A and B are shown apart, each in its own frame.
Chain A
């Protein structure tokens, strides 16, 4: 093993420029055991692709944690039988806020394997069908323009993330779920809280925030439950109503529709999976264009480049650096034996810069086609919201470059020290 290779993706330097680290890993040790991460780092396109198809690699990672928590609680309760009724944990309801949130997340398709995954995905798919997304075009354009109107009223240095890229996707999801406009700010808060709990790193300083987030998510749970009840009584044109209808012609997987619990979990998943990713997609795309004035000028000149441009911007600096898999059976990747119980990090951002797959991978080529990037993943879990995410990115980037002709970077952005996402703290610009 190459001992000296830099394999900590969480240093400030690696967060600022992960691509240099990925380059070295791809060249020197493409399936690399990283001590700092206690996980395999898979950095070549071909190996990431193979891993997406490998049934020894599982997405089912929350259920085991939940089972352990429950087991511990039950053991405690048996030891302190008298306190049991007091704690209110006797009707099968999870006792703690943390267990309730974990129970909600454990039902997400993204942390499920077939056949559980197959059924959930099939039932959700109706809500993402072509026509349903297509009708969002005008709505999203109006939302982007409204946000840009506000942005243009300001002057001097402003943060494009907090003003535009961040509020847009939360509002889109709230709209699609059929929530009243006045509730949209709640969606933003819950999205932050979900991220905090899902990626939550420990540390005493964070413990209090974590507790607050859990309380917030219990409110979210109650809110979505109310929304589900409302739509059950009165179905509408929204995604939630679409996910309630079952396909009676299907005898295999989807005959039993989603339960209320499953619909609540689905709402939370859509918010979690569709918010920060899309924010970063818009922000990273804008930054890449600001750093490449020729590409920016070409796009302004010829807006018909937008479709291939969006794919290329997702490839070049996409929102997700790393996707996790758990090893459930011995397998092999690029000649390395991977053992059950180990973790595998699929480094999407590295695969998308692999010179064996993409010519001149470090060059932003807005006309690149075909462009089989893996920013949306691959195989059975490939992003179900990809068409929506593309549309949001296309409209936001298109309107930003058109309506802000004087757009310029005001400050060097600071990248968050995050493993999973490629995410800036702020994108401060002038216009």
Chain B
């Protein structure tokens, strides 16, 4: 599974990081540092999905389900 953030949309709400700080790291200013294309470690897909859905401005997306 791969996820990514659209940094033009991210508003630093930090809600993704609340779900899992390692899957959804923030930069020093509180913006998502997940990058445009990150691979989710195996077994953490469900948590990743919760994190993606927790973004109130839909800056995060699932790029590939596998």
Contacts and interface: CB of A to CB of B under 8 A. Distances in A.
Interface of A: 49, 52-53, 114, 121-122, 125, 128-131, 134, 311, 370-374, 376-380, 382-387
A121 B14 CA distance: 13
Interface in B22-66: 22, 26, 28-30, 46-47, 50-51, 54, 56-58
B6 interface: no
Contact of B54 (A134, A384, A387): A387
6 contacts: A53-B30, A131-B46, A377-B14, A378-B12, A382-B14, A387-B50
A118 B46 CA distance: 26
Contact of B47 (A49, A131, A371): A131
Contacts of B29: 53, 379-380
A128 B20 CA distance: 8
Given A122-B21, A372-B57, A379 B30 contact: yes
Contacts of A125: 20-22
Given A131-B46, A379-B30, A386-B15, 12 more contacts: A52-B30, A53-B12, A53-B29, A130-B47, A134-B50, A372-B57, A376-B13, A378-B13, A379-B14, A384-B18, A386-B18, A387-B18
A125 B24 CA distance: 12
Q: How large is the interface on B (under 10, 10 to 19, 20 to 34, 35 or more residues)?
A: 20 to 34
Nearest to A125: B21
4 cross-chain pairs, A with B, having the tightest CB-CB distances, nearest first: A382-B14, A379-B30, A130-B47, A125-B21
A222 to B, nearest CB: 31
B19 interface: yes
B30 A382 contact: yes
By CB atoms of chain A within 10 A, which of B14, B20, B54 has the most?
B14
Contacts of B17: 382
Contacts of B58: 370
A125 B19 CA distance: 9
Contacts of B15: 376, 382, 386
A129 B47 contact: yes
Contacts of B56: 311, 370-373
Contacts of A128: 18
A128 B15 CA distance: 12
Contacts of A383: 18
Given A129-B20, A372-B57, A378 B30 contact: yes
Nearest to A307: B53
Contacts of A130: 19-20, 46-47, 50-51
Max chain A C-beta neighbours (<10 A), residue from B11, B28, B57: B11
Contacts of B51: 130
Nearest to B12: A379
A49 B57 CA distance: 14
Contacts of A386: 15, 18
A129 B62 CA distance: 19
Contact of B57 (A53, A370, A379, A387): A370
Contacts of B46: 130-131
A112 B18 CA distance: 18
A372 B56 CA distance: 5
A323 to B, nearest CB: 14
A114 B47 contact: no
A265 to B, nearest CB: 20
A372 B18 CA distance: 15
A114 B30 CA distance: 12
Contacts of A53: 12, 29-30
Contacts of A52: 12, 30
Contacts of A49: 11-12
Most B-side CB within 10 Å, residue of A130, A380, A386 = A130
A370 B57 CA distance: 6
Nearest to A390: B54
B58 to A, nearest CB: 6
A129 B20 CA distance: 5
A385 B46 CA distance: 19
A311 B15 CA distance: 12
Contact of A380 (B11, B26, B47, B54): B26
A370 B11 CA distance: 12
Contact of A114 (B19, B22, B28, B50): B28
A378 B21 contact: no
A184 to B, nearest CB: 25
B30 to A, nearest CB: 4
Nearest to B44: A130
